[in-house]
Every structure is written in C-alpha cells, then in structure tokens.
Chain A
C-alpha cells in the first residue's frame, strides 16, 4: 500500500497545492483584511496621536504614557487575578461536576441538561441576573446565606467581592467545559480502572494514575483557552459594572469602566474606553499591542500542543 502511494501520484492528486490555494483563497483574503492589515495598522497608529480627525506623529509618547498609566497596572492585576483564581476555580469545578455526572446511574441526561443550560444563557442576561440575585439588601443569595447566619457582603458593589462574584457567575456557566470533560472521562478505557483496582489502587490513586493522564490533553486545552478568554474578559465585567453602578454608557457620558473602584477593570475595557469613548486611538493601539502580546504567549502554548498532536497523527 505504502509503496504504491510513494510511486507516481495518481492523476487526480496532481496540482493539489494549487487547488487548495483556490479553496483557501476567500479565507486568505479574510486573514489579510481582518488580521494582517489591522495588526500592521495598529503598530503604525501606536506611534501617532489620532482623535478621528487629526493624525499627528507622536513618536514614543503613547508608549511612555503606557508606563505611567495607573490603569494599566490595575487592569493587569485584575487580569492576573482572573487567571490565577477564576480560571482554576472554573476548570476544577467543571472537572468535579463531570466526574459526578458520569458516575450517576439515574437521570444522567436530565442532570447534564441542567448543568449545561446556564452556559447558553446570553452573557448580558446571566450577568444582570447575578447582579440582581446578589444585591446586598434584598437579593435571594444573601437571604440564603442568612439562613446559615452569614451576613453576605455587597457582592458587586464591594471592590473586594466583585471578582469573586463574577467567579460564581463563571462557575454557574461552566456547562460547556463540563460537557467536554464528561466526554473525555467516558473515553478513558474501562479496563485501565479495572486493572488499577485489582492492583489495589484506591479512588484517589486511580484518579491520579489513570484518569488524570488520560484526560490531560483535554484539561490542558481547556485551561489554556480559559486563560486566553480571561485575558480578553470584557462583557461580563462591563455589564456588571454598568448595572451595579446604575450608569448608562453613551458617548460623552462619564461612565468609567471597572466599577466598583476599578476592581473589574480589564485591559480590553480600558482599550475600549480609551479608543472609542475618549477617542485616543493612538494610545488605544498601544494597549491593543499589549493585549496582543499577552494573548500571544498563551496562544503559542496552545499551538505548540497542536503541533505535537498533529505531528503524531
């Protein structure tokens, strides 16, 4: 078989590279227009002052401002929190949930549906619901906590609690990840568990030696994409800030993102504010490059993994 294939390629295989180019051409055009060009233009604008009307050379001004901008430090710190706390919490909870569901004997389909559904709720709807549920004085969540004698904080109004509140929201909407984990857990060959059990391995030992190695690629994929989404975290934080503070956001309004006290400010929001509300396009481009660099680090990690698995295939 292999020797036949390595001889002269069959007639219908000829010119495959050219035909591939034809099929790929719309996408290549898309990549050039929506990826390559804007990236180059972003670099160009980052050296200019631009308010939509006048474009003037700024040299390194925007970059110098970046180093002095306290909001960059704040948003970097917030993003770091999301990466260090929210992503692991969401991933581990999803894994635990998946472990539980695949073990159930009754009602698996129903439970899976219930856990999956919240991940489909539109971000705006889910965030508003949580701000309402967790409002300090009348919200059901604090009433629930009061049953146990706990006085709940002003979740979305307290800088110390706003990020944990969004973490709860992320746990509620973890269904997508949990379903992926469920599929991965079901793919682990049963006989491995049986062999481990015969060798006297307990539940934890089985998890460490059988489950974890088998699902490691899926876990890694989920964690890395989770981190990349944390770096671009925008809608939940923006909507929570807006609804909790009661502010409207229209051009010219005084709404600054990150309420309460910039505790929910992330780089994408600050970029949006600088570019599209304050019309400092040049500076927004510098922020965009920072965002690009940050997400590239994690994307490369993912690419490296894909390269490996593709090479093996």
Chain B
C-alpha cells in the first residue's frame, strides 16, 4: 500500500517536472510568435500579448528585406550541398566499412580528426585559393568541397555500414557482383535510414550555417543566405523587434515543418551519432 502510494507520488512528480520543463522549452517560441504579431510600438513595450494581430508583419518582412532571395540562395546551398555530400560520402564510407586493407583504421581515425577540425583553422589559405579562382562573393566555395566528401557524413554512414553483417556483402561478391553493384543493390537498400539521416543533417547544417556564408557570401545582400541575412536583420530594423521576430519565425518554420515529416529519421540518426564507436 505504502509502496504503491510512493510510486504514484513519484509518477506525479516526474510528470509535473517534465511538464514544467516542456513549458520552459516552448516559451521562447511562444513569445517569439506573439512578438512577431505585434505593432512596432507594442513590440517595444513589456506587453506579452498582442493588442492586435498584425499578420501583415510577415508580408512587410518580405517587402523590406531580400528574404526570398536569401531563401533561394539557402536552398541552392543546402540542396546541392546535400546532393554532393551523399554522392561523395557514401562510396568512401562503404570502402571504410567493408574493404580490408592496410591503414584502414588510420583512415578512419583521420576521418574523425577531420570532423573535429575547426573550420577556421584552414580558412585563410582556402580563402586565398577561392579568391584566386574568382569564386569569393559566391556560395561555391562552400558547395564545391562537398563533392570530395564530408567527414561527419562519412563518419555517420560508416558507423551504420559496419553493423551490416558481412555475410550479405560476401554472398553478393561470391555471386559475382562487382563492388559497385554490391553497394547499389545490397548495401544501399539496407542503409536507407542512415542515408536519410545524413541527408537531413547535411541539409540542416547548410541551412543553419552562419560562419561559411559570413566568410564567402560577400557584402552584397543578394548573395546572402537566410542565417546571414537574419543575423544582420536587427541592425537594419533596429527599433522593430516585431519584424525581427517575424523574420526569425520565417527562417525557423521550414525546419520545424521538415522535422515533423521526418521525425523518426532524425531521432534514429541522432542516436547513431552518439552510441556507436
């Protein structure tokens, strides 16, 4: 009896704590949304609830900034970046996970090291190379390198591919499948969740990236991405917190929508990054 009562109390306490924390996690988004709908004047006051619902704030953001242009640029960066990353990283991960060769472990450790290298370390010489090629002030210096493999994606894919039992690939090879056919016909269908996770992570990475575009996108606003434009938005509309919040919401919304369609892929992918290895 007593134990049961203690269990019930514990149940209530745990769920109450979870609810309080969940409300605190949601609060920033709620206030962000409410402020985005206020008038210019009201957004500067300590009011929390809009007196009038100014849905046209979103239209004003589009009119006053190059948000559409930034969205297009971001889509090019994230779309091509993801495509290139998949094309280049899947074969590398396959080789690291399946082939037996000398230096295999060293190669894998090198992938981990490359993954952990701060991008700023190699920034100066690379910037000079891209400048020589006339590609600074564009997003190409961020997109093109992904044709030659992305360390994090290789790492993640490799972690998944090593869990596929060797019997499958060995059987395919015995049956006379080439390496490429084995990859396409045997490995890829089994690795679909990992490939999807890598694609989503890479897309989000590009969508969120601030450092890369800050370095390469140049001073002309037409060439900016959403993250870059948003970070500068407040400076140009300094007294209009409502518009800044509306822009923030517009940049965030697509990510949230994608998440709700692909929730399972995410959670499985995240699990893959931490548990293995």
Contact A122/B252 with A291-B118, A306-B109, A310-B105 known, Cβ cut-off 8 Å: yes
Quick one: which of B121, B227, B256 contacts A291, CB cutoff 8 A? B121
Residues on the B chain within 8 Å of A176, using CB: 270, 273
* Tier of interface size on chain B: 35 or more
Interface centre among B112, B263, B270 (most CB of A within 10 A): B270
Say whether A34 contacts B27, CB under 8 Å: no
Query: How far is it, in angstroms, between the C-alpha of A100 and the C-alpha of B14 when the chains are bound?
Result: 7
| Residues in A whose Cβ lies below 8 Å from that of B174 | 10, 12
A54 within 8 A of B: no
Per-residue interface assignment for chain A, residues 7 to 43, with 1 indicating a CB less than 8 Å from any chain B CB and 0 otherwise: 0001011001101110110110111011101110110
> Which chain A residues lie closer than 8 Å to B1 at the CB level?
none
Cα distance, A273 to B230, chains bound together (Å): 20
For B112, give its contact among A17, A100, A129, A302 (CB under 8 Å).
A302
Residues on B with beta carbons closer than 8 Å to the beta carbon of A122: 207-208, 226-227, 230, 251-252, 255
Binding site of A, secondary structure by majority: helix, strand, loop or mixed? helix
A187-B120 contact, Cβ under 8 Å, with A23-B94, A34-B126: no
Contact check, A30 vs B149: say whether CB atoms are below 8 A apart: yes
- A275 contacts B109, C-beta separation under 8 Å: no
- Taking a contact as CB atoms under 8 Å apart, the answer to whether A38 and B120 are in contact is no
The yes or no answer to A72 lying at the interface (CB within 8 A) is no
* Residue of A whose beta carbon sits closest to that of B200: A120
Q: Which residue of B lies closest to A140 (CB)?
A: B31
Who on chain A is nearest to B183 by CB?
Answer: A23
User: Contact partner of A138 among B45, B113, B226, B252, CB < 8 A?
Assistant: B45
Chain B nearest CB: distance from A7 CB in Å?
Answer: 15
| 8 more CB-based (< 8 A) A-B contacts, given A120-B255, A129-B29, A306-B109 | A10-B174, A35-B114, A41-B125, A116-B266, A118-B25, A125-B249, A284-B123, A295-B121
Residue on A nearest B149 in the bound complex, by CB: A27
Q: Is the CB of A38 within 8 A of B116?
A: no
Flag whether A87 is at the interface (Cβ < 8 A): no
| Contact assessment for B275 and A180 in the assembled complex, using a CB-CB cutoff below 8 Å | yes
Partner-contacting stretch, out of B52-60, B61-69, B184-192, B238-246: B238-246
A310 to B227: give the CA distance in the assembly, Å: 38
Tell me if A249 counts as interface (CB < 8 A to partner B).
Answer: yes
A92 at the interface (CB under 8 A from B): no
Q: Complex Cα distance A17/B100, Å? A: 7
Q: Is the CB of A228 within 8 A of B173?
A: no
- Residues of chain B contacted by A295 (CB below 8 angstroms): 116-118, 121
Interface string of A241-253 (1 = CB under 8 A from B): 0110011111100
Which residue numbers of B lie inside 8 Å of A, CB to CB? 11, 14-15, 17-18, 21-22, 25-29, 31-32, 35, 44-46, 48, 88-89, 91-92, 94-96, 99-102, 104-105, 107-110, 112-114, 116-128, 131, 145, 147-149, 154, 162, 173-174, 179, 204, 207-208, 210-211, 214-215, 219, 226-228, 230-236, 238, 241, 244-245, 248-249, 251-252, 255-256, 259, 263, 266-267, 270-271, 273-275, 277
A84 at interface, CB cutoff 8 A:
no
Residues of chain B with a CB closer than 8 A to A137's CB: 46
Residues on A lying within 8 angstroms of B by beta carbon are 10, 12-13, 16-17, 19-21, 23-24, 26-27, 29-31, 33-35, 37-39, 41-42, 45, 52, 97, 100-101, 103-107, 111-118, 120-130, 132-133, 137-140, 143, 172, 176-177, 179-181, 183-184, 187, 218, 221-222, 225, 228, 231-232, 234-235, 238-239, 242-243, 246-251, 268, 271-272, 275-276, 281, 284-285, 288-289, 291-292, 295, 298-299, 302-303, 306-307, 309-310, 313
Contact of A117 among B21, B27, B259 (CB under 8 A): B259
* A contact residues around B101 at 8 Å (CB): 16-17, 20-21
Provided the pairs A111-B18, A114-B22, A248-B235 are in contact, do residues A232 and B118 lie with their beta carbons within 8 angstroms?
Answer: yes
**Which residues of chain B are within 8 angstroms of A23 by Cβ–Cβ distance?**
91-92, 94-95, 99, 179
Known contacts A37-B125, A100-B18; A27 and B148 CB within 8 A of each other: yes
- Shortest CB-to-CB span from A287 to chain B, Å, is 8
- Report the nearest A residue to B267, measured CB to CB: A179
CA distance A117 to B24 in the complex (A): 13
Contact B275 A285 (CB under 8 A): no
Bound form: Cα–Cα A169–B35 in Å: 19
Question: Of A31, A123, A251, A285, which contacts B208 at CB under 8 A?
Answer: A123
Beta-carbon contact of A248 and B236 below 8 Å: yes
Q: How far is the CB of B101 from chain A (nearest CB, A)?
A: 4
The answer to whether B248 touches A128, judged by C-beta atoms less than 8 angstroms apart, is: yes
The residues of B that contact A284 with a CB separation of less than 8 Å are: 123-124
How far does the alpha carbon of A33 sit from the alpha carbon of B267 in the complex, in Å? 34
Which residues on the A side are within 8 Å of B126 (C-beta)? 34, 38
Which residues does chain A contribute within 8 Å of B95, judged by CB atoms?
19-20, 23-24
Q: Find B35's partner among A132, A222, A272, A291 (CB 8 Å cutoff).
A: A132
